[in-house]
């Protein structure tokens, strides 16, 4: 999977490494901005109010 | 054989990826939400202070605050001299991710009855992280447009999440007519869990006009 990604990335080794760093940063940004905030309310440790339910 | 090897390799890479994503989630929840919420809270507090200090300020009166409006600053000397968090109207998830929330329908700051607020004990800036360290007599200071309300802690209790009676005008006494201005804080318990709620009760001790500030002894922490 990652070997394939390495092979399809163009350019010399340095360019591939840079491209991977940018890709990883994009993935982390998407997770932090949209995915994790959407999952967090489903976690059992974020409630602090009293209420019925 | 090569196909099987390839499949196992891909499965392994997927599992490692999943593990990394889970670790990222933990880091996001325990660290990044604090970074974001702390920065946001500090900025909101600074904005409120600036608006309050303007001559003829038209900053919002507590009673006029709509859901999601920040209308006061909460200071708790026990949590540090620099501790200041915005108080928002309402206790929705969005509000509590930005600061302390005032339970709609409970008394306003300084009013006779029970002024109740909720805050995160962990994550999202954890405004109520130190609730278990509050001693009897500790000050919870609420700064609104016109007044400083000095509440002093009278005790705490740990209750199931369904025990809404802690929010009653006289906490835990259904039907009782309130004669005192009290404060109730709710947060989760134990830390990093939502199994129970940590409740702190306090009573209004003094009120000062905002223009004159508070006497310095109010902000002192007794050990």
The residue extents of the domains of chain A are 2-37
Counted residue by residue, chain B has a size of 223
Q: What token pair was written down for B136?
A: 């009897």
**Strand pairing class (B100-102; B85-89):** parallel
| Contact residues, chain B, for A24 at CB < 8 Å | none
Instruction: List, in order, residues 6 or more apart from B211 with CB less than 8 Å away.
Output: none
Query: Which residue of B101, B128, B188 is in closest CB contact with A47?
Result: B188
Contact A47 B194 (CB under 8 A): yes
Taking CA atoms, what residue in A is nearest to B198?
A: A48
Q: Quick check: A49 and B118 CB within 8 A?
A: yes
* C-alpha span between B183 and B116 (Å, rounded): 6
pLDDT over 80 (residue A51):
no
Q: How many CA atoms lie within 13 A of B172 on its CB side?
A: 10
What does the block give as tokens for A11?
């350019």
pLDDT of A52 reads: 59
**Among candidates B13, B28, B162 on the partner chain, residue whose Cβ is nearest the Cβ of A32:** B28
- Return the H-helix or E-strand segment holding B71: strand B70-75
- Residue ranges per structural domain of chain B: 31-219
**How far apart are alpha carbons B144 and B24 in whole angstroms?**
39
CA-nearest residue of chain A to B185?
A: A49
Active site residues of B: 120, 188, 197
Q: B88 to chain A nearest CA, in Å?
A: 14
Contacts of residue B222, defined as CB under 8 A and 6 or more positions apart, other chains included, come to B135, B137, B138
pLDDT tens-place values along chain B, 223 residues long = 678 888 898 999 999 999 999 999 999 999 999 999 999 999 999 999 999 988 888 899 999 999 999 999 999 999 999 999 999 999 999 999 999 999 999 999 999 999 999 999 999 999 999 999 999 999 999 999 999 999 999 999 999 999 999 999 999 999 999 999 999 999 999 998 889 999 999 999 999 999 889 999 999 998 7
Burial B179-196 (b: 16+ CB within 10 A, else e): eebbbbbbbbbeeeebee
Residues A37, A34: Cα–Cα separation, whole Å = 6
Looking at domain B31-219, its CATH architecture is Beta Barrel (2.40)
Judged by CB atoms closer than 8 Å, whether chains meet at B118 and A45 is answered as no
Report CA torsion sign: B105, B110, B116, B122. Answer: positive
Cα–Cα distance between B129 and B75 in angstroms, integer? 13
Report angle CA B214, B183, A50 to the nearest 5 degrees. 140
**Residue B57 three-state SS:** coil
Interface of B with A in 131-190 (CB under 8 A): 159, 161-164, 166-167, 186-188
The interface predicted TM-score (ipTM) is: 0.89
Contact A11, B7 (CB under 8 A): no
* Residue among B78, B139, B158, B151 nearest B109 (CA): B151
Partners of A51 on chain B (C-beta within 8 Å) are 161-162, 164
A35 pLDDT band, cuts 50/70/90, is very high
Q: For chain A, list residues whose CB is within 8 angstroms of any CB belonging to chain B.
A: 1-2, 28, 31-32, 36, 39-41, 43-53
Inter-chain CB proximity A51 and B192 less than 8 Å? no
- Report the pLDDT value the prediction gives residue B128, as an integer from 0 to 100: 96
pLDDT given at position A53:
43
């Amino acid at each position: 999977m990652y070997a394939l990604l390495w092979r399809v990335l163009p350019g010399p080794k340095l360019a591939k490494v840079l491209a991977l760093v940018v890709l990883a940063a994009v993935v982390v940004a998407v997770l932090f901005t949209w995915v994790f905030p959407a999952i967090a309310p489903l976690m059992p440790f974020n409630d602090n109010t009293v209420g019925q339910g | 054989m090569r196909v099987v090897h390839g499949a196992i390799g891909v499965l392994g890479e997927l599992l490692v990826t999943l593990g990394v994503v889970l670790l990222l989630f933990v880091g996001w929840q325990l660290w990044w939400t604090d970074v974001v919420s702390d920065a946001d809270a500090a900025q909101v507090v600074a904005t409120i202070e600036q608006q309050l200090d303007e001559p003829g300020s038209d900053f919002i009166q507590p009673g006029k605050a709509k859901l999601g409006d920040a209308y006061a600053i909460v200071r708790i000397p026990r949590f540090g001299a620099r501790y200041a968090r915005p108080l928002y109207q309402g206790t929705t998830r969005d509000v509590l991710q930005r600061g302390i929330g005032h339970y709609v329908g409970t008394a306003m700051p300084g009013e006779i009855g029970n002024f109740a607020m909720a805050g995160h004990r962990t994550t999202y800036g954890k405004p109520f992280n130190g609730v278990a360290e509050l001693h009897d007599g500790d000050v919870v200071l609420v700064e609104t447009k016109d007044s400083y309300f000095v509440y002093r802690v009278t005790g705490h209790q740990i209750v199931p999440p369904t025990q809404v009676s802690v929010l009653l005008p006289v906490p835990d006494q259904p039907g009782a007519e309130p004669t005192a201005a009290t404060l109730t804080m709710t947060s989760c318990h134990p830390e990093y869990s939502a199994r129970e709620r940590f409740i702190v009760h306090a009573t209004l001790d003094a009120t000062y006009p905002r223009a004159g500030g508070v006497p310095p002894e109010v902000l002192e922490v007794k050990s």
